[in-house]
Structure 1
């Protein structure tokens, strides 16, 4: 077998979210969360933020490996902000998006984070977080 290999993880590159209504999802991620939107010719939409992206794909459409045909899934993802979670909270409230919980302290990949939780139009749990080293403790 030999020596086990280590994987040098760097950051989230992308996540795929299946969407019941692609236009509602574009409005949520592009309008509500202010991500850049790029529409692809095959019906998918890329929502980019910083060095990461979310691939939004219409429900009941096949993309990727053949074994994905007919499958759909939901997502639970954590999106990091450098600083300014209170600004994000104010923005979400101002545009009428419901915050389910937060701000609350949680444990992130690299330490303690301060998080807000909300759901996207497809019921995916979206956690928006900031490392406490960048925020004031609650």
Structure 2
């Protein structure tokens, strides 16, 4: 019945820091839509941004910053991802390590966004 994820909503304390991370560090495209809302677009998906205390309705029952654990598949080899993270001075907290993704084995690094969400960036093995 379900084919793919279209978007998810990230709640942030600091929208400027979130935009810097998802655009400059992860290379997503900033998208502004309906009423000045912001999203980070990548591939055929996007992350809609909500600011804590200013969420749009309807919203999650308990929208809180720092509660997400997200895994992204990179469009470039993981070594290029690591080099980019070093270049922009963003700390890797673990990896590279072998993991199991939705479609099979992956090799991943872990970092945190400004709200302390856990971000995994992986390549398929």
Matches within 5 A, 1:1-138: 7-9=1-3, 11-40=4-33, 42=35, 44-65=37-58, 68=60, 71-73=62-64, 74-132=67-125
TM-score, normalised via structure 1 length: 0.80
Aligned residues: 123
Cα root mean square deviation, aligned? 1.8
Q: CA deviation at 1:40?
A: 3.6
Q: Please, which runs of 5 or more residues in structure 1 have no aligned partner?
A: 1-6, 133-138
* TM-score scaled by length of structure 2: 0.88
Question: After the TM superposition, which parts of structure 1 deviate over 3 Å for at least 4 consecutive aligned residues?
Answer: 40-44
Match of 2:116, SS state, is coil
Deviation at 1:39, TM superposition (A): 2.7
**Higher-Rg member (1/2):** 1
